[in-house]
């Protein structure tokens, strides 16, 4: 199994505004760092030839979307918090609004599968609605691939035997 993650951020200004220049300038080096990181599998790119192009989507203006796939919880953690990316995170208040609700979600996927952005957004909604479960979780309450598989099997069995109507 692989680990999918989605995180969103509310930009303080339009992406081409001068106050976001330092952020946009960092996109290429940070993305290259991710691409080279041990355990990195895939990330959603707007334009394979333009590292500064952020992902276009229908989920609202000034919302920045990061959507990627990793081999394990550790490999994603080591990239996010144990590389130069941490410096970038420390400056997040300069560029993004504080979020009152969850903005980061992870879930397990079969290797080789790439979920749609709509599914990723749906996982974030699930985290907001139900709190962390093996189908949508955070680092504070994380689940192994095995726990997720068992949980999904149990969910399927429950819904198959659930009374209808």
Partner 1 sequence: MGDDLSALAHLHDPIRRSLYEFVTNRGTDVDRGEAAEAAGISRTLAAFHLDKLVEAGLLECRFKSPVKKGPGSGRPAKVYRRAAGERLVSLPPRDYAGLASVLADAVDLLGGEEQAEKAARAAGARIGTRSRPRHMLKVLEERGYEPYVEGEEIRLRNCPFHRLAEEHPVLVCSMNLALCQGLLEGLDDDPNRARMAPRPRECCVVFLNK
- Give the shortest CB-89-to-partner 1 separation in angstroms: 5
Q: Which of 72, 60, 71, 52 is nearest to 124 (CA)?
A: 60
- Select 93 or 158, whichever has its Cβ closest to partner 1: 93
What letters, b where the CB count within 10 A reaches 16 and e where it falls short, cover 123-159? Answer: bbebbeeeebbbbbbeeeeebebeebeeeeeeeeeee
- Select 140 or 158, whichever has its Cβ closest to partner 1: 140
- Give the shortest CB-139-to-partner 1 separation in angstroms: 8
CA distance 130 to 132: 7
- Give the shortest CB-111-to-partner 1 separation in angstroms: 23
**Residues of the shown chain interacting with partner 1 in the complex, contacts defined by CB under 8 A:** 78, 80-84, 86-87, 89-90, 92-93, 98, 139-140
Instruction: Give the DSSP letter of residue 18.
Output: G
- Select 89 or 114, whichever has its Cβ closest to partner 1: 89
């Amino acid at each position: 199994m692989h680990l999918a993650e989605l995180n969103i951020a509310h930009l303080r200004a339009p992406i081409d505004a001068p106050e976001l220049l330092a952020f946009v300038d960092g996109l290429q080096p940070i993305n290259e760092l991710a691409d080279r990181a041990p355990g990195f599998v895939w990330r959603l790119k707007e334009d394979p030839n333009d590292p500064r192009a952020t992902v276009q989507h229908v989920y609202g203006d000034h919302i920045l979307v990061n959507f990627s796939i990793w081999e394990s919880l550790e490999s994603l953690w080591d990239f996010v918090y144990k590389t130069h990316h941490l410096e970038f995170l420390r400056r997040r208040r300069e560029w993004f609004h504080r979020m009152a609700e969850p903005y980061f979600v992870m879930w397990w996927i079969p290797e080789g599968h790439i979920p749609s952005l709509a599914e990723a957004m749906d996982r974030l909604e699930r985290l907001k609605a139900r709190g962390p479960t093996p189908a949508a979780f955070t680092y504070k309450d994380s689940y192994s691939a095995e726990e997720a598989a068992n949980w999904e099997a149990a969910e399927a069995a429950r819904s198959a035997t659930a009374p209808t109507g």
